Amino acid sequence: MNELTQEGRFRVGPFKWYLAATAISALGDGVRVTALPLLGLAVTRDPVKLGALTAVATLPLLLSPVAGVVADKVVRRDMLIAVDAARCVLVAFLAVMVVMDLVSYPLLVLMGGMLGLGEVLFGVGNQAMLPTLVDRSELARAGGQLQASNLIFRTSVGQPLGGFLFTMGMGIPFFVDSISFLGGIFCLSALPRVQTESSAGGSAGEMLREGFRYLRSDSLMIVLASSLGVINLSFGAVMALEAFFASDHLGLDAVQYSVFVTVGGFGGVLGSLVAHRFAKHYGVLPAAISAQLVSAVACVATGMSHTGWVASVMFFCLMLGTTIYQVLTVALRQGIIPSAMLGRVNGSFRLVGAGSVPIGAFLGGILAERFGSNIPFIVAGTMQVVWFSAMLLLVASGKIHEE
């Protein structure tokens, strides 16, 4: 069935509710994203253990194909609501444990894994949801608006608030995050219950195989998935130790760390707002790959920085480039993949593209322990510089192109 009305490019009412849900959830995510690493540092300062925490939290990415099948079998709105309800309960439980001073490293590992599973289910369903609300010709612009909303409320508001609330009481940020999930559920409940074409039939096993077959048959998708795998292998190492790097190498406290990540977030906001303009002038692939190359160089420079303000500027550039890449390549995928197959194909894509995160997180912890907390940034950025330089040459020669 056609999931779009004939009223115009945007189904204005549903999209506004979707945008509101994104903003509210992003606020809570920003609070948690700042507070959780600080809580981890309060439990252990062992970089290997910190890396292992991220590795466990991202292991559910390996279940992305299964999550994709679920997104194509059920009503996607209902799936997002159910996942947010479960995460609301989990984060509220963590807040109570923090207040009761019962937090331990094993508990953080367990909570990280369960919240990570929720992130995978929500992420796959979320990417499959947008094309049911906007016309495919508007995906890049709508995706940019969602990304801007996400980054503004996550980084400009949520992350500084998370650092401030953590200094007031370690459990407060998690109570705030739990409440934000309730707000997101309220907004998602206003969306229409759209039944996808594939939700009525087809075995889960066959749908899983269809996702992989589609991915294998599209050479551009394979290139994009492999590139995302390189990005996430390197960023897994970096993001797992972001708070430790800020504390150990730059000497930042909790509030200064929240400012550091907020500056990076502003780069992401700018990237989300200008991504479609770059694509219009230079083409989607040249713009995306060039932006990620800038991000890679900035990653190396961040690791080589010795002061908070220099590292913050470089982190701004890192997030600017990688957000442009993300907005453009996600919109490109959403515009190519049939709507009814978005869940399972995106799930297969994310397995290849994001399954490397736990490996990167674990390796990042080892690198930081043996050579210093800044080394993962330098190694990760260098790896990306090599990969995306080669990618840019292939695009320039016409060997890789948009279909």
Query: pLDDT tens for residues 66-118?
Result: 888 887 787 888 988 999 999 999 999 999 999 999 999 999 999 888 988 88
- Terminal-to-terminal C-alpha distance of the chain: 25
- pLDDT (0 to 100) of residue 221: 84
Which token pair is 155?
């980084």
CA–CA separation, 300 and 86 (whole Å): 38
| pTM of the predicted model over 0.85 | no
CA–CA separation, 19 and 13 (whole Å): 10
Handedness of CA 326, 278, 336, 137 (dihedral sign): positive
- pLDDT (0 to 100) of residue 3: 38
Alpha carbon distances (Å) from 65 to 56, 204, 226: 18, 10, 16
- pLDDT (0 to 100) of residue 192: 80
CA–CA separation, 39 and 37 (whole Å): 5
Return averaged pLDDT per consecutive 10 residues of the chain, 403 residues in all. Answer: 39 76 84 84 86 81 80 84 93 94 92 86 78 71 74 76 87 93 91 62 71 81 88 85 88 85 84 85 90 95 94 94 88 76 77 81 88 93 95 84 66
Alpha-carbon radius of gyration of the chain: 20
